[in-house]
């Protein structure tokens, strides 16, 4: 059985090894990005160590930040963002406190998100606000899966991150056909190499099974493409600028969100 304790040495070792590699590269951008990971990984691991309460707290915090970034991309107003954040947070809390009521919480959240433009009588942008709100609710509610999955979600995050990193460097080096017009820089060669690396990470973490494998190999790249589609529609390069070396939080968890959804469906 996977536990946070069993994953902690691997996470610490990965941070140490990557720190040495980044220092050797002498690239300022990589050093900044590594420092961000060096702060974030221990905080998230510690929260998961506390069990469901800590995991739920991380999921709610991430949801609130992600909603603000998503709302900025979709040009949603304050009321839409507040209601969407409350709806996603409510689903996360239901996954912790009342697992049998998650679907009801999702339905209530959808109605609440839809009510904002309807009650405002927005004839000009109401349809856009409604569609953007429901898409955001569907996409970001995958964070609720962190609570029941626990350490498995942490292992999934590690594997997806490894896959993303390898896909980036392998795609640039190997070249070949593009993965999708949504993300011209991504190549099939990089995606396949990243998937292989992600599956290898699952094996090392003793977290390999077929649902996890499909979540990493298929869900991860799909999540990246989904965010690329949203950013292209918004004509934005990143979802934010506050995370040093990484843009926004959604830029770091886009692959994880769809991977979590895939894992929930398969399990």
Output the six-digit token pair for 129: 């606000």
Domain boundaries, the chain: 53-145
- State how far the Cα of 89 lies from the Cα of 84, in Å rounded to an integer: 8
- Please determine, for residue 231, whether its predicted confidence score (pLDDT) is greater than 80: yes
- Please determine, for residue 26, whether its predicted confidence score (pLDDT) is greater than 80: no
Is the pTM above the cut of 0.75?
Answer: yes
What mean pLDDT do residues 154-166 have?
92
More confident residue, 170 or 216: 216
Residue 25's contacts (CB-CB under 8 Å, 6 or more residues apart) are none
What mean pLDDT do residues 137-165 have?
94
Tell me what pLDDT residue 245 has: 64
Q: Which residues pair with 178 in a beta bridge?
A: 187
The tens digit of pLDDT for each residue in 235-249 reads 888 888 877 766 789
């Amino acid at each position: 059985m996977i536990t946070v304790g069993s994953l902690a040495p691997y996470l610490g070792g990965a941070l140490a090894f990557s720190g040495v590699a980044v220092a050797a590269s002498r690239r300022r951008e990589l050093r900044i990005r590594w420092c961000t990971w060096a702060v974030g990984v221990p905080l998230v691991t510690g929260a998961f160590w506390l069990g469901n309460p800590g995991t739920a707290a991380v999921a709610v915090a991430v949801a609130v930040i992600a909603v603000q970034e998503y709302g900025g991309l979709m040009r949603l107003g304050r009321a839409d963002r507040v209601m969407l954040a409350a709806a996603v947070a409510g689903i996360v809390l239901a996954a912790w406190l009342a697992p049998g009521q998650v679907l009801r919480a999702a339905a209530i959240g959808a109605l609440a998100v839809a009510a904002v433009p309807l009650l405002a009588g927005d004839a000009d942008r109401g349809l856009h606000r409604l569609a953007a709100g429901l898409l955001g609710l569907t996409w970001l509610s995958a964070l609720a899966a962190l609570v029941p999955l626990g350490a498995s979600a942490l292992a999934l995050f590690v594997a997806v991150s490894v896959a993303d990193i390898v896909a980036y460097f392998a795609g640039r080096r190997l070249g070949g056909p593009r993965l999708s017009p949504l993300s011209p820089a991504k190549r099939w060669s990089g995606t396949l190499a990243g998937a292989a690396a992600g599956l290898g990470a699952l094996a090392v973490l003793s977290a390999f099974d077929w649902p996890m494998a499909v979540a990493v190999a298929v869900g991860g790249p799909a999540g990246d493409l989904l965010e690329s589609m949203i950013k292209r529609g918004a004509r934005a390069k990143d979802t934010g600028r506050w995370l040093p070396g990484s843009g926004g939080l959604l830029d770091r968890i886009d692959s994880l969100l769809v991977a979590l959804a895939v894992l929930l469906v398969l399990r």
